[in-house]
């Protein structure tokens, strides 16, 4: 497989300042272009993005506006910047709390077959333990710990069976509207899943902020976009370090891909299905709706924005 393709990253982000510098440094090491939609950060995220964009022209800032997040917002970025991609490039769905265990380019070279054009993830979800939370009993302790790289701070993890798409190979004819989480006929799914270190639970301040934001957003976001947001108390997300299901990441041992994650069946059936897909997919593309020219994301009401800001300020004073 040729390596002459580019990666185009679609990043929707809000309030990730505690990890964003590390994330951008990591992603810039493999992603050729990063397109960013800030959905209303109030913690300095936008300012960090502006600094990075000034130093790295391949980071394109679409806009910052206080809107309700949903999966289809990545389609806004895709349709804004797709003219920068060529046939055969790869688009990536980015999240600011995900770090790739191996470079996507190397993963594609080693594990993705020529007829595969969509890649799903293998998640390794890192959790905040009770013992770790106990040492972060003040805001100052948390802020001091944030100077340490995230992979050294959170070492306990769960291997998650749930999977989602992260990469799809670009076709000029492909369509994606903001009412869908991925492009129509995004691709022929690769058998192997790419390993990702996921850090959604980093410290008490971040976890409390994340939970409160999502609790408020549930009233505006489609239920299909927030099935895992129903958390009444962020402390319920802290795990017991003695849980037998919990694993510990040794820095000398890489977390590997899932090499048998998607397909089941005889190789000949897989190839026949792949050939049929490749023949029909471009015809199907022309039956799909165009991106709506009048689309506008749903704004977050002013009273909710004020409440979010008030809660953030209070959280910064005490845990």
pLDDT digits (tens, 9 = 90+) for 17-41: 999 999 999 999 999 999 999 999 9
Q: How do the residues of the chain divide into helix, strand and coil, expressed in percent and rounded to 5?
A: 35, 20, 45
Tell me phi and psi for residue 225, to 5 degrees. -95, -5
CB within 8 Å of 226: residues ≥ 6 apart: 214, 217, 218
| Residue 188 belongs to a domain | yes
| Residue 1 belongs to a domain | no
| Residue 279 belongs to a domain | yes
Mean pLDDT of 249-253: 80
Q: What is the span of the domain harbouring residue 124? A: 7-317
CB within 8 Å of 224: residues ≥ 6 apart: 71
Ramachandran bin of 187, using left for φ above 0, alpha for ψ from -120 to 50, beta for the remaining angles: left
- CA-CA-CA-CA torsion sign (12, 171, 165, 114): negative
Mean pLDDT of 104-111: 96
pTM over 0.85: yes
Mean pLDDT of 144-171: 95
Three-state secondary-structure class, residue 306:
helix
Q: Round to whole Å and give the CA distance between 72 and 54.
A: 27
Residue range 273-309, pLDDT digits in tens: 677 677 788 888 999 999 999 999 989 888 777 777 7
Placement of tokens 């009273």 in the chain? 303
Is a pLDDT exceeding 60 seen at residue 228? no
| Residue 2 belongs to a domain | no
| Residue 37 belongs to a domain | yes
Residue range 108-127, pLDDT digits in tens: 999 999 889 999 999 999 99
Q: Number of folded domains in the chain?
A: 1
Confidence of residue 225 (pLDDT cuts 50, 70, 90): low
What is the rounded average pLDDT for all residues in the chain? 88
| Residue 24 belongs to a domain | yes
Mean pLDDT of 186-206: 94
How much is the pLDDT for 231? 65
Is a pLDDT exceeding 80 seen at residue 243? yes
Is a pLDDT exceeding 90 seen at residue 164? yes
CB 161 within 8 A of CB 51: no
Confidence of residue 315 (pLDDT cuts 50, 70, 90): low
How much is the pLDDT for 318? 46
Tell me phi and psi for residue 45, to 5 degrees. -60, -45
For residue 303, what are its two tokens? 């009273």
Q: What's the DSSP call for residue 191?
A: S
């Amino acid at each position: 497989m040729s390596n002459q393709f580019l990666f185009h990253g679609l990043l929707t982000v809000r309030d990730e300042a505690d990890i964003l510098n590390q994330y951008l440094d990591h992603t810039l090491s493999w992603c050729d272009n990063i397109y960013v939609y800030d959905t209303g950060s109030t913690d300095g995220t936008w300012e960090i993005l502006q600094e990075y964009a000034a130093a790295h022209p391949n980071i394109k800032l679409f806009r910052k506006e206080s809107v309700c997040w949903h999966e289809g917002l990545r389609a806004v970025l895709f349709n804004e910047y797709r003219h920068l991609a060529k046939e055969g490039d790869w688009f990536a769905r980015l999240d600011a709390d995900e770090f790739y265990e191996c470079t996507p380019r190397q993963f594609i070279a080693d594990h993705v077959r020529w007829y595969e054009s969509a890649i799903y993830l293998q998640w390794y979800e890192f959790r905040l333990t009770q013992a770790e939370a106990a040492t972060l009993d003040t805001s100052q302790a948390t802020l001091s710990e944030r100077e340490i790289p995230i992979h050294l701070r959170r070492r306990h993890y769960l291997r998650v069976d749930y999977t989602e798409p992260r990469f799809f190979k670009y076709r000029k004819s492909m369509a994606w509207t903001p009412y869908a989480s991925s492009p129509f006929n995004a691709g022929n799914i690769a058998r192997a899943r790419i390993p990702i270190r996921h850090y959604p639970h980093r410290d008490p301040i971040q976890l409390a902020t994340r939970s409160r934001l999502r609790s408020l957003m549930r009233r505006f976001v489609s239920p299909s976009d927030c099935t895992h947001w129903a958390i009444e108390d962020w402390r319920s997300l802290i795990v017991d370090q003695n849980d037998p299901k919990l694993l510990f990441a040794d820095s000398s041992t890489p977390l590997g891909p899932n090499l048998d994650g998607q397909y089941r069946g005889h190789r000949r059936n897989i190839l026949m299905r792949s050939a049929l897909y490749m023949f029909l997919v471009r015809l199907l593309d022309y039956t799909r709706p165009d991106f709506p020219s009048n689309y506008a994301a749903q704004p977050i009401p002013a009273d909710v924005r004020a409440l979010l800001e008030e809660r953030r300020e209070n959280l910064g004073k005490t845990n």
